[in-house]
Structure 1
Amino acid sequence: MGSEGRSWRSLFGMRAVVILVTVVALLSLATGIANISVPETTGPLGQYIPTSVQQAAGFTGALTGFLMLTSVWGLRRGYRVAWYATVALLPITGVQGLVQGSVLSLPLVSLSLLSLPTVLVNYRRFDNHLSVSTGQLAATAALAGTLVYGTAGTYALQEEFVQVSTLTDALYFTIVTASTVGFGDVTAQSAQGRLFVISLVVLGTASFALALGSVLGPAIQARFSRALGTMTTEQLELLENHVIVLGYGDLTEPLVEELADGSTRFVVVTDDSNTATMLREHGVDVFVGDPSDDEPLHEVDIEHARAVIVATDDDAEDAFAILTARELNPDVRIVAAASVRENVQKLRRAGADTVLSPAVIGGRLLVRSALGESDVESVADRLMEE
């Protein structure tokens, strides 16, 4: 029964979705390119579809293939948005294959229809959310706005341009002008048209540069962040209702492991770059900075934090970190660990809501165990489970 279950998952699981969608993307790309010219071998619907429509389906089919390859990249990472994009693109590839009217497109149509049920039944497997920064949203909006502005403006001023009579012509002119390609086949014939072209070039250059920066900037920043062991700006922007761990030491290590095993988002603030690099290599979010300074705590958004944990081996540094955290967010819950028993009340006066002394707890458990009490191990086990 176990082998049958594994066989079922391999046939209709996440890997099958990625493989099927990849094949559909490659078929869409190949058949689209093959059918850009008038196909010599027509399918059953070829005689009923105009040649211009078949050629248009070839162009759009190649574009859909590229878009679907992008969806494959997202599916491999389990993104939900990639699942939605794939569900939308699969029917489109099927329709484009039919409209292309070629025998070469029949495998594309068949596989598109067969792949859709497999993608649909695996909805729950793609539950990761794609993180999009404010800069990337702004770049997308700027690029889309420039294309709309250029297309609408060129079409409205078509009498001022040579060879512009349709929206397709206007879109073509907008893209080649905004991207500074400028073939010169469409030119402005009046001062009004030239002023519009100047505005389009300025907006196009700015929006394309912004879009390029939003893509390359995070990638470069992520590379430096991995090397330095700290978080990127995009990761910091996504922090909300999270736990902040101030400092890192022997007491902190087990609680970081406990947090990493759970579903709560957390970030460690430490001024030790070597420790930060080590934690980042284990997938832990880290911000390099002094845990007792205001700026690092603002950067990790302590104002919207769920709780703060302070548990290093230095009670004096912990007290300063607690004072800073309490000042920046009077309502946040602060939990601390005192390495010395006499410092428990001091950490409470500094602003901690709860202060535990691992040495005291461990010592009392050891004494009870030495005196022969039988429930000590069960108490320790319950503490570990909790």
Structure 2
Amino acid sequence: MTNRQKLIAAILLFLGVFSLGVAGFKYFGGPEATLLDSIYMTAITISTIGYGEAIDLRHNPTARVFTIFFIILSLGSIAFAVSSITAFIVEGELKDIIRRRKMDKEISRLKDHYIVCGSDETAQTVIQELLLTRRKFVVIEPSREKLEKLQSLGHFPYIEGEPSEDEILLKAGIKQARGILLSLPSDELNLYVTLTARSLNPRLRIVSKGIDLKSHAKMKKAGADSVISPTFIGGMRMVSEMIRPSVTTFLDMMLRDKEKVLRVEEVTVKADSKLVGQTLQESRLKERSDILLVAIKKAASGEYQFNPPGDYVITAGDVLIFIGSPEAVQNLEKITA
């Protein structure tokens, strides 16, 4: 029996003992004893305070025998209740409940956030990157033990539950989320959660891990926007280390430097942004010291303009691709919004 179950049992036992006392004193007190008198007698007997008796039991031996056994029963139930409450508080379950409620409130306020499903090495890398780049996210994992290990990566909200369940995904705020990242133990689970997530939020961006390359097409048909193969990425990294080692070293410095976090980021220009209609030279984006504009994905054609010239006219829906810090991303989002 867990401490929480013991606490519930102690409360129920106390209520049962109290009800027994009220019924007993009402019975032995006769018609003259009111319900309030019986409650009063029960309260002073259980608490062993010993105020004056509201029901006279001096000439009723049977009632006195009942009172003796009731006192012994009361002391036992109080001792059990005190030990259960102490264990509940000392062993941290009350603290966990308070922390869980606080976290649930934090999750309910999330908007335009990301949902991470899983706790394997891939998921851990995802979590570390989201923490470093200061993104809002919530983790879903059914194993409490694995969730506790993930907490060593940093503070973030999480939900203990199956990511394949609609209720859990809704609790994670999937309808308000920007995207979901799936790194579950099997392709079948990733495929099932992809179907579920897409049905709950048709606008959601879904990125899933695909262990078997043959499963990628099925996942995309199910609604995944992108499917990532760890083996393919690993192979590409190995050959990059061989033929372009300086580039991989530079990228590693960007990814692993925790003091100065730099990433290749993207920001979409909104329709009501003040940048719309301006040239890059007029916007002075290329002159900013906190970002390095690398390319623009054109809204009209979807083509990429690498190292765009100063006379390029910015339009609504253009995606600016640049190298910058999390702070630079936030500043640029304010301008493009």
Give TM class, smaller chain.
0.3 to 0.5
User: Larger % of strand: which?
Assistant: 2
The structure whose RCO (Cα within 8 Å, separation 6+) is larger is 2
Pick the structure with greater CA Rg: 2
- State TM-score, norm by structure 2: 0.43
